[in-house]
């Protein structure tokens, strides 16, 4: 019971019933039998949370979160503001300061709550990172077997060669049954997700049982730790071609990060979270956590096939009307049903992909792709970036939300997320931008800005750039065609971006977006409007003071 002794010493847990490192099959049955909580807005706190499908143990586990937590609880996410860390951490609305004394008192109350109820706790020991040079041991301790099952899916297990593992270990204590008191505990609501970088503890309490918390909390931890080691931490997808040419693709939701990295001609390293070290690129994870809403099974055959695989987890997809989940084949589920949430999710091991790079690792990237989906229809389909432009567009992290996707959004809306993952970036954006620039210089890595958005007009007027053209542009970038000596460019007069004059397999007319608009004056006005949004965001975030040069 060495684990029990460690947890008593670290947290004070002593009168609890542990389920230590159970197998996936055991966790499947435990989740169905024991995970209880709220799954309906007006429902009780003792409803069944996890269900089998018709396939039973040979198929997926289906799990339902609290209805108030179908995504990350960003306003309830904090870091403990120890004085020695306060100036280093990038504090923001979705990662706020939490008083150290308040945190210590809250943690003691949560532990006392678990000891008093003789709680059943599931423990799963995994790692964050596939490379033992930087990998961090991660111990999940929580009330739900489904969360331990998810951790088993998403993180490497049994990684050999991690030096001083115990001194690096992070522990997550995940307690949905404890509800915070804001007046007493200093929280914003009855729930909290809080990271203590000094003592290597992640506390999750209250109605914060979305599986993504188990994953993204540790990604935030790694985004703090990896730069301290001189490594680049990245929210990106990555793959490698047949000649050993690595590539990484940064991008926010809806830009094509996952779809474009899934290329039958290239091996997948991973689709979401990576490190770039002196040895190359490596995945932080051992699984994928994909959106399911409106999944096109023909376009996403890997996810479609994995829906029926043993050891996977489906989150917040309702059963068919009048049917029990236990009687349904997972392939019959209505993936367009957003009645619980538009953020339905699916967790599956990386091995469900048929074409994964050995060890989820790859070489240094030859090409970096910054993805954006410009719904204003004014950015070039592809632009070649120099080092200063890479840093600028990396910290800006631009894409656009579409009209109709949110209440009150009647025209495209600019969305900026630094480093293409601002909520999870625990250090300041310039830290990552400078490491990225240094590694690109050391490895002679080229970079393009690839726009998967609209052409010939904005959303509702123009058309989305075809997947055929996007693939051709990406293939040319990965092959180095756009960076060849003698390649010719036009410079956009408003965005100051270098636009290739030609690209194999693509009509050269579309490469300058102004050519695709019938009303040139309207194009100029919209382009000026977007450029001003960039300048306003740059000023608002104070990127100039952080050493980033404005290039627009």
Active centre residues (catalytic): 72, 216, 235, 253, 257-258, 272, 345
Of 63, 56, 126, 27, the closest CA to residue 313 belongs to 63
DSSP 14: -
Is residue 550 within 8 Å of 544, Cβ to Cβ? yes
Interatomic CA distance for residues 292 and 317, integer angstroms? 8
Beta strand extents in 50-115 (DSSP E only): 50-52, 61-63, 77-80, 96-98
Interatomic CA distance for residues 147 and 124, integer angstroms? 9
CA 12, distance to chain mean position in Å, is: 32
Interatomic CA distance for residues 249 and 449, integer angstroms? 10
Is residue 17 within 8 Å of 289, Cβ to Cβ? no
SS (H, E, C) 499-537: EECCECCECHHHHCHHHHCCCHHHHHHHHHHHHHHHHHH
What does the radius of gyration of the chain's CA atoms come to, in whole angstroms?
24
What 3-state DSSP class applies to 109?
A: helix
What DSSP string runs through 169-190?
-EEEEEETT----HHHH--SSS
Sign, CA dihedral 375-376-381-385, equals: negative
Determine the angle formed by the axes of helices 520-541 and 387-396, rounding to 10 degrees.
80
What 3-state DSSP class applies to 544?
A: helix
N-term to C-term CA, the chain? 60
Is residue 460 within 8 Å of 258, Cβ to Cβ? no
CA 134, distance to chain mean position in Å, is: 19
Is residue 330 within 8 Å of 307, Cβ to Cβ? yes
Cα–Cα distance list, 181 to 142, 187, 437 (Å): 20, 7, 45
- Which single residue is written with the structure tokens 């104070």? 542
What DSSP string runs through 454-472?
EESSSTTTSEEPPHHHHHH
């Amino acid at each position: 019971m060495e684990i029990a002794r460690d947890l008593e010493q670290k947290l004070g847990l002593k009168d609890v019933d542990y389920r230590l490192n159970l197998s996936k099959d055991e966790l499947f049955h435990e989740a169905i039998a024991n995970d209880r909580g709220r799954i309906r807005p007006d429902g009780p706190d003792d409803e069944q949370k996890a269900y089998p499908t018709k396939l039973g143990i040979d198929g997926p586990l289906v799990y339902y979160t609290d209805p108030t937590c179908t995504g990350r609880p960003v306003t309830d996410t904090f870091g403990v503001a120890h004085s020695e860390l306060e100036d280093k951490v990038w504090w923001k609305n979705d990662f706020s300061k939490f008083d150290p004394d308040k945190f210590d008192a809250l943690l003691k109350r949560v532990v006392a709550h678990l000891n008093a109820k003789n709680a059943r706790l599931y423990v799963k020991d995994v790692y964050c990172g596939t490379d033992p040079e930087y990998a961090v041991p991660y111990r999940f301790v929580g009330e739900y077997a489904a969360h331990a099952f998810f951790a088993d899916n998403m993180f490497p297990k049994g990684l050999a060669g991690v030096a001083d593992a115990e001194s690096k270990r992070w522990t997550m204590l995940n307690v949905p049954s404890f509800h915070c008191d804001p007046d007493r505990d200093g929280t914003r609501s009855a729930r909290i997700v809080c990271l203590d970088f000094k003592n290597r503890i992640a506390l999750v309490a209250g109605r914060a049982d979305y599986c993504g918390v188990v994953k993204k909390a540790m990604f935030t931890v790694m985004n703090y730790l990896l730069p301290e080691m001189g490594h680049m931490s990245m929210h990106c997808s990555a793959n490698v071609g047949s000649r050993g040419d690595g590539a990484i693709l940064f991008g926010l939701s809806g830009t094509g990060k996952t779809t474009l990295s899934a290329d039958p001609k290239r091996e997948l390293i991973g689709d979401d979270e990576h490190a770039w070290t002196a040895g190359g690129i490596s995945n932080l994870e051992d699984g994928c956590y994909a959106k399911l809403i409106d999944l096109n099974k023909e376009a996403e055959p890997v996810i479609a096939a994995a829906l029926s695989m043993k050891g996977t987890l489906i989150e917040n997809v309702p059963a068919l009307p009048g049917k029990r989940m236990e009687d349904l084949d997972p392939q019959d589920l209505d993936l367009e049903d957003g009645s619980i949430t538009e953020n339905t999710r699916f967790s599956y091991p990386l091995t469900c992909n048929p074409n994964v790079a050995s060890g989820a690792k790859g070489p240094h990237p030859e090409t970096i792709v910054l993805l954006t989906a410009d719904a204003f229809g004014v950015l070039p389909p592809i632009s070649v970036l120099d080092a200063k432009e890479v840093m600028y567009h990396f910290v800006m992290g631009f894409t656009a939300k579409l009209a109709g996707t949110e209440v009150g959004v009647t025209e495209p809306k600019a969305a900026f997320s630094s480093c293409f993952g601002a909520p999870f970036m625990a250090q300041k954006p310039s830290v990552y931008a400078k490491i990225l620039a240094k590694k690109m210089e050391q490895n002679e890595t080229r970079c393009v800005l690839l726009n998967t958005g609209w052409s010939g007009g904005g959303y509702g007027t123009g058309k989305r750039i075809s997947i055929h053209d996007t693939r051709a542009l990406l293939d040319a970038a990965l092959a180095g065609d756009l960076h060849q000596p003698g390649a010719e460019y036009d410079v956009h007069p408003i965005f100051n971006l270098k636009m290739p004059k030609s690209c194999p397999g693509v009509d050269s007319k579309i490469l300058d977006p102004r050519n695709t608009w019938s009303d040139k004056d309207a194009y100029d006005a919209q382009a000026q409007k977007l450029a001003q949004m960039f300048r306003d965001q740059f000023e608002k975030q104070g990127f100039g003071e952080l050493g980033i040069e404005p290039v627009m």
